[in-house]
Amino acid sequence: QVQPVESGGGSVQAGGSLRLSCAASGRTSVTYYMGWFRQAPGKERQFVAAISWRGEITYYAASVKGRFTISRDNAKNTVYLQMNSLKPEDTAVYYCAAALSTWNPTLEKEYNVWGQGTQVTVSS
């Protein structure tokens, strides 16, 4: 199965931007939905964005729509999350995950494998 590895997290001031990357190793010949989730301290993990195998279908949480953009480069086995206009409430550990098949890629339980996460901190 595919194994996602996140990178690109860091600290930024409110209004700034970051781009997260998720490199997939392993059985990358198999088609996967890829998703980003985040977990803030003391809160449950929540859906952020997801993208279909060919990239033609994307999903976003209402809280990030218009600010975040998910994309993928299958030639590089990499998924990206461009985050603009960051807010302090975006502070969280961001996780990349892969779903072999799913009828609803906004649901955490649909995902088979998860990365270790990368910290994003937005200061006011």
Query: What is the Cα–Cα distance from 42 to 103, expressed in whole angstroms?
Result: 29
pLDDT score at 29: 61
**Shortest CA distance to 98 belongs to which of 42, 30, 20, 40?**
30
pLDDT, residue 73, reads 92
Nearest to 79 by CA among 24, 13, 26, 11: 24
What is the structure's pLDDT at 31?
76
pLDDT tens track of the chain, all 124 residues?
788 999 999 999 999 999 999 998 877 666 789 999 999 999 999 999 999 989 999 999 999 999 999 999 989 999 999 999 999 999 999 999 999 888 899 999 999 999 999 999 999 9
Segments in the chain forming alpha helices (H):
none
Beta partners for residue 6, in sequence order: 22
